Structure 1
Amino acid sequence: MRRIAFIFPGQGAQYVGMGKDIVEKYEIAADIFTKASNAVGYDMKKLCFEGPEEELIKTENTQPAILTTCIAIAKVLEDKGIKADVSAGLSLGEYAALVVSGALSFEDAVALVKKRGRYMQEAVPIGKGAMAAILGMERNTLLQVLKQVQSEGIVEAANFNSPGQIVISGEVKAVEKACEAAKEAGALKAVLLPVSAPFHCSMLIPAGEKLAGDLDRITINELHIPVIANVNADYYQNKCQVNELLIKQVSHSVLWEDTMLRMLEDGVNTFIEMGPGKSLNQFLKKILKKSKHNAEVYSIEDGESLETVLNSL
């Protein structure tokens, strides 16, 4: 029996032109872009299809742009009869999962992530925070390394993406020291990331506090499709958890590897990543290789990949 998960990427996957050919072919996708434009107050098609890139990569623009592209693809699949049995998204992608579940309206979600992006950027002055990818190191070993360098400042695990790929986040000096210590402890690589803020660490708590006020002002509905949250790799039990978990998510680790393993253990055997890039596909293949599970893994980011999935399923 096929059990399908819709999974959605986070910030960093964006590129000029994303979603264009899907919008040109499917009216239901075009409608989503129109709704997004009305909700955020600018032309979402123009931003996504034409850029310029320097506008698209601004955090408060990137987040609604990726969310819009993800939901446009999801709506086409649903319209063609392909439904999710469960959903999840990495960081920003969790909002797409909650839209698919019915917990959030798309219009509320796209306006919300625009503010979320601005709050995350404003929480830490540019140049004070950093993030780095640590490759080829076990989770527990890296956590010990982070403890050893805490005297240098804030540095925390931000994303547990897949076996051997963990992202750290915090103050510049502490992150740089952690990179050196990780390599000395056996990491294959430690690479500073070109990001504008130290996402998913305690330095972002003020952003979550601002987001809380906006969440209080929107309607949260019961979930019609199970969604697994980033912060605990567990299912939302009811709509009352949505505000709490989305606020925490801004400043807590993203347990993506744990989330995918939970889905696999619960019988998911078909994963469809939708949105720009193929990062979740790559993470999942590493997770599958290390685990005892098997699954079909698809990515949809353009018309060609969409047709492939429609023909396969």
Structure 2
Amino acid sequence: MGKIAFIFPGQGAQYIGMGREISELYPSAAEVFEKANQALGFDIRDMIFNGDEETLAITENTQPAILTASIACLMPLLEAGIRPDYTAGLSLGEYGAHVLSGTFTFEDAVKIVRKRGKFMQDAVPIGLGAMAAILGLDRDVVIDICEAAQSAGVIGPANFNCPGQIVVAGETAAVNEAIRLATEKGAKRAVLLNVSAPFHCVMLEPAGEKLKAVLDEVEVHPMNIPVVANVTGKVIPSEDQVKELLIQQVSKSVLWEDCVRTMVEAGVDTFVEVGPGKVLSGFIKKIDKNLKALNVEDKASLDKTLEALKG
């Protein structure tokens, strides 16, 4: 086996009950939920385990909830002595990577992402912005489509997830124009996403400014594991760049495919998605079908992953 990377999911992966089974089996995972409750000052564990989908889907709830469930799912891997060579996360998931690396304490990170979620939601009034997934077109074509669609308003590429899956974000009229152009260019699909704000575009710059004020109050600790940043697709060279990259990340494109390729070039052949869902595992397989994609979100997936990593 080559090198291992732990990767953390982003918004959209949430579901009621995520992390529950792991927390019932591992006291260290249960403690993560307790720490989240104390840090946030409300019972987010109850929201995650017993709440409703609508409440969980509110961005300022979703972000700390996914981070909490992800770090809970991380605990059994660490207890088993499995240490990754690299780590990264999709958008919100980058905070999970920083908790794993030691850059932020979990308590600091969960408070940051609670506020991050609120800032991102508040930056653009509901209805004024949109996001769309464009499937089956090359990166260059989608960039050209965004430039052409700027005649209808602000728009840009938001996520380069994997070959043939790119998300665009911006003003609603411009996103609809991009969908029309993408369909004309022969996209397999071009569809609006069910999101509350146009994440990862210039309309979110005010959220980045507010996030800066929050990050200014937080201590950054040495990185124990190399973290690959969404904004650059490269390993973060030093701790003094961590905050600036996270501020930019709110309003800049997420270069997920680049992040994965950077880790593969460094020798990673096994990716473990830590937390709810298997979205990133799907992207990994589309980037390179020879890569091994594992995940940990419940007992069954944990057992399978531990067997694969220890075997």
TM-score (norm. length: structure 2):
0.98
Partner of 1:197: 197
Correspondence for 2:148: 148
Matched residue, 2:63: 63
| 1:74-102 Cα distance to aligned partner (Å, 9 max, x none) | 12201111111100000000000011001
Matched, 1:298 2:294: yes
C-alpha distance in 2 between matches for 1:148 and 1:218: 41
What is the identity, as a one-letter code, of the residue corresponding to 1:234? Answer: K
Q: Structure 1 residues 129-138 or 140-149, which shifts more?
A: 140-149
Residue 102 of structure 1: aligned partner: 102
Distance 2:256 2:223 in 1: 20
Q: Kindly provide the amino acid, as one letter, of the partner of residue 298 in structure 2.
A: D
In 1, distance between residues paired with 2:40 and 2:299?
A: 25
Instruction: Show the counterpart of 2:6.
Output: 6
1:166 maps to what in 2? 166
Shifted more, 250-259 versus 39-48: the winner is 39-48
**Residues 101-139 of structure 1: per-residue CA shift (max 9 Å, x gap):** 010100000000000000000000001000000000000
CA drift at 1:174: 0.4
Mind listing any 5+ residue stretches in structure 2 that lack a counterpart?
Answer: none
CA distance, structure 2, for counterparts of residue 160 and residue 27 of structure 1: 37
**1:160-196 Cα distance to aligned partner (Å, 9 max, x none):** 0000000000000000001000110121110100100
Give the structure 2 partner of residue 176 of structure 1.
176
Q: Which residue pairs with 2:21 in the alignment?
A: 21
Cα deviation for residue 151 of structure 1 reads 1.2
How far apart are 1:270 and its partner, in Å? 1.1
Which range is displaced more, 86-95 or 36-45? 36-45
Superimposed CA distance per residue, residues 43-83 of structure 1 (whole angstroms, 9 cap, x where no aligned partner): 12211111122211110000000001111111220111111
Q: CA deviation at 1:295?
A: 2.4
One-letter amino acid matched to 1:311: E
CA RMSD after TM alignment: 0.8
Where has structure 1 moved over 2 Å in runs of 4 or more? none
1:309 aligns with 2:285: no
Tell me how many residue pairs correspond in the alignment. 309
Amino acid aligned to 1:153: G
Map Cα deviations across residues 214-253 of structure 1 (whole Å, 9 max, x no partner): 1000110110100000000011111100110000000000
> Which digits, 9 at most, give the CA deviation of each residue in 1:135-172, with x for residues without a partner?
00000011111111211001110000000000000000
Percent of matched pairs sharing the same residue: 56
